[in-house]
């Protein structure tokens, strides 16, 4: 392992350059651009390492059922290194990225290296991790080391919109395998071993339009929406008092959450009483909760409001749900990951569930031992410049290699 770790240190510049190459491809989702281009680059890199590759295209019927109509063909790449083992270690990385906000200092798709940070959309989430995965395999290959497990690696689309058309499809159809799985997760001294559940709803309030000079002739859907939102805000205060028994990286992640209005639509003219108002609900569940119970709570609030105000008519659409998943911390992969992080970082590591949902849930739901670990940088959801620390890229590649050799 010392030879492998030293090799990765020597490959720092090449690892950075490859990450830059991936960042330059704007695989923005939605709508899902340039997927074929990035898969081509990843396939060439795997072939350089003499790893067998196969492409899988998600059928259009599947995309239609998920409401995906625009963007590139949804293509996944699966690469296999058969070492002759009876066990397989699967590594997964999603190559799509969220759209860039308007307040970037740098061009998000022209990577910049400054003060030990590599700036660019996807540098942290998760093109840097993809590069680290590939270079961890490259190190083993170049050092003529045959790992104790077979290695399968997948590069998949659409994690940023739920993953059902990417890794979810591959897992469902049996196109990937693994006794152990690793993907996006916590960083530094934290290893993720599960995630909260998610329930996404869309609520539409049906009103009646009229001219704004005679609002008494109409039913203002916006005003009715405020009543519904107020009722849900009270529910939010109740659920935030719950507490999970599982460790989280941040104390605030111990509780469930409810976010209203990530998407809001309604009205089309200033002098017309709006007859439609729509808003979204994002409900995150701790492992002690279930989709059924979370759904029931929300529906009870809205049905009560409908009874109290006969002018309120609601249409409720559920377009995504995922139960919470947790991998037993006593499993072999969890123990190996903690020891590997401790050895490379020289600090004790800790398991924690994630507040966000990742594609690893598709493996965990099948009973496959799954953990998440990522390079450290600036989180892209904050609206600031996204970056990854280049030293963390190398360190993460070393940790990936250490995990492989410890299984």
- For 270-292, what is each residue's pLDDT tens digit? 999 999 999 999 999 999 999 99
Question: Quick check: 56 and 176 in contact, CB under 8 A?
Answer: no
pLDDT tens string 124-140? 999 999 999 999 999 99
pLDDT for position 381? 63
* pTM (2 d.p.): 0.93
- Identify the three-state secondary structure at position 152: strand
Return all residues near 99 (Cβ < 8 A) that are at least 6 apart: 28, 29, 30
> What is the per-residue pLDDT for 262?
93
Residue 240 CB neighbours (<10 A): 14
At CA 43, angle to CA 400 and CA 403, rounded to 5? 10
Which residue ranges form the domains of the chain, and what is each CATH number? 2-195+324-406 (3.40.630.10), 197-322 (3.30.70.360)
Compute the distance between CA of residue 133 and CA of residue 397 in angstroms, rounded to an integer: 6
Indicate whether 97 pLDDT > 90: yes
d(CA 274, CA 271): 9
Residue-wise pLDDT tens digits, 173-222:
999 999 999 999 999 999 999 999 999 999 999 999 999 999 999 999 99
Query: C-alpha angle 404/179/183, rounded to 5°?
Result: 60
* pLDDT greater than 90 at residue 342: yes
pLDDT of residue 383: 63
């Amino acid at each position: 392992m010392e030879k492998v770790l030293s090799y990765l240190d020597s490959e720092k510049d090449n690892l950075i350059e490859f990450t830059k190459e991936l960042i330059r491809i704007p695989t923005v989702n939605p709508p899902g651009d340039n997927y074929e281009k990035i898969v081509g680059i990843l396939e060439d890199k795997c072939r350089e390492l003499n790893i067998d590759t196969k492409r899988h295209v998600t059928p259009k019927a599947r995309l239609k059922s998920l409401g995906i109509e625009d963007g590139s063909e949804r293509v996944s790449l699966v690469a296999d290194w058969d070492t002759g083992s009876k066990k397989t270690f699967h590594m997964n990385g999603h190559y799509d990225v969220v759209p860039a906000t308007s307040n970037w200092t740098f061009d998000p798709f022209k990577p910049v290296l400054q003060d030990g940070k590599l700036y660019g959309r996807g540098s942290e989430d998760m093109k840097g991790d993809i590069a680290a995965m590939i270079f961890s395999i490259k190190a083993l290959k170049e050092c003529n080391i045959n790992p104790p497990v077979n290695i399968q690696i997948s590069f998949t689309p659409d994690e940023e919109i739920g993953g059902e058309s990417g890794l979810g499809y591959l897992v469902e159809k049996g196109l990937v395998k693994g006794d152990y799985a690793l993907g996006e997760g916590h960083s530094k001294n934290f290893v993720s071993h599960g995630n909260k559940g998610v329930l996404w709803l869309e609520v539409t309030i049906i009103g009646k339009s009229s001219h704004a000079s005679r609002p008494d002739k109409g039913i203002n859907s916006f005003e009715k929406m405020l009543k519904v939102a107020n009722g849900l805000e009270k529910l939010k205060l109740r659920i935030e008092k719950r507490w999970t028994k599982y460790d989280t990286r941040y104390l605030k992640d111990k509780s469930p959450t409810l976010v209203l209005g990530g998407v809001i639509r309604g009205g089309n003219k200033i002098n017309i009483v709006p007859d439609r108002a729509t808003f979204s609900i994002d409900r995150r569940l701790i492992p002690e909760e279930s989709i059924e119970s979370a759904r029931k709570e929300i529906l009870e609030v809205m049905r009560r409001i409908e009874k109290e105000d006969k002018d309120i008519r609601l249409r409720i659409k559920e377009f995504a749900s995922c139960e919470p998943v947790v991998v037993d911390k006593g499993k072999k992969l969890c123990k190996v990951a903690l020891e590997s992080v401790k050895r490379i970082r020289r600090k004790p590591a800790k398991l924690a569930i994630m507040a966000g949902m990742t594609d690893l849930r598709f493996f965990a739901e099948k009973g496959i031992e799954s953990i998440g670990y990522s390079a450290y940088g600036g989180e892209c959801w904050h609206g600031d410049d996204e970056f990854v620390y280049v030293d963390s890229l190398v360190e993460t590649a070393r940790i990936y290699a250490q995990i492989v050799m410890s299984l």
